[in-house]
Homo-oligomer: A and B are copies of this chain.
Amino acid sequence: MNKEKEFIKIIKETLNLKEDNNIKIGIGDDAAIVSGSANQIVCSDSIIEGVHFDLNYFSLEDVGWKSIAINQSDIASMGGEPKFFTVSCGFPKNFTNNDVKKIIKGIKSACDNNGGKVVGGDIILSEKIFISISSIGEIYGTNFMTRSSAKPGEKIAVTGTLGNSAAGLKLIKDGIKENIFSNFHLRPIPKIKTGILLSKNGVNCCMDISDGLHNDLINLCDSSKVSASIKIENIPVSSELKNMFPDNYHDIAINGGEDFELLFTFNDLPKGLLDEIIIIGEIKEINSNQIEYNLKGNKYTPNFNPWRHFE
């Protein structure tokens, strides 16, 4: 397939990779050869047109960025640093050289900003665009953070405001393509540095918030066999979210997915790090009420369809 060779040429040019001692054999052979480390993080995550993105509001560069960022976020949630990516692409028949260039520009930009390098991949023909990325990250030390190690009594914390990505997507779908929240959805920024700090400071239980706080708390509690109590008023939200959605910003923050902040539990953390994170609740012994929400001391029942009264 000559188009494939042409695409690979464009990909190599656009990535414009410099010499790197850790990449012994790069793009162009059946496989790459890279330096390994004692313990390394391995994961993969894919996005597909129509399910994870819509070209009516995602530019191809956004697609490229996000495909890498969701993988960088998985590495962040394990406390590692992204090192190498392989990129499997499905492109439709009518895909042009310029389309490829745009996707790779987004990929390169996410790599340059958040870490890691593309060392290989493959291209296949597909009706819908898909990008399936596999990542290798380096982890320092042997404190492996999982989602299954939360213990009763530990504090529950997140690394930043929640709900912006969902608000961005909502407004885009309502026709306001460029809104103050849209980049939170289109170009999320993985929390690499914070993830490394958490791991270095002994945090055992961590994951990234991709499915929304509520759903990911369920994932964490299921894995750790614990329950959680959350103080709604402590969940960090941006002033913009509060202003634009004064009646339901709590519910947007609880349900909104794809913020890619980290969700973790801990007993103690040094002062400097405590200033960077936000405590939102506490892990409890497992009980019939898996996630209990309170707002200023009163039981709170979230609306799990926060956009409903807009529709």
Contact = CB atoms under 8 A, between A and B. Distances in A.
Interface of A: 24-25, 28-48, 51-52, 73-75, 77-78, 80, 84, 86-88, 90, 119-122, 124-128, 130, 132, 134-137, 139, 144, 146-148, 207-208, 223
A120 B43 contact: yes
Given A51-B125, A120-B44, A139 B223 contact: no
Contacts of A45: 88, 122
A42 B32 contact: yes
A40 B139 CA distance: 16
A35 to B, nearest CB: 7
Assembly stoichiometry (copies)? 2
A-side interface mostly: strand
Contacts of A33: 39-42, 78, 139, 144
Contact of A36 (B40, B46, B52, B75): B40
Contacts of A24: 39, 144
Contact of A122 (B46, B51, B127): B46
A137 B43 CA distance: 15
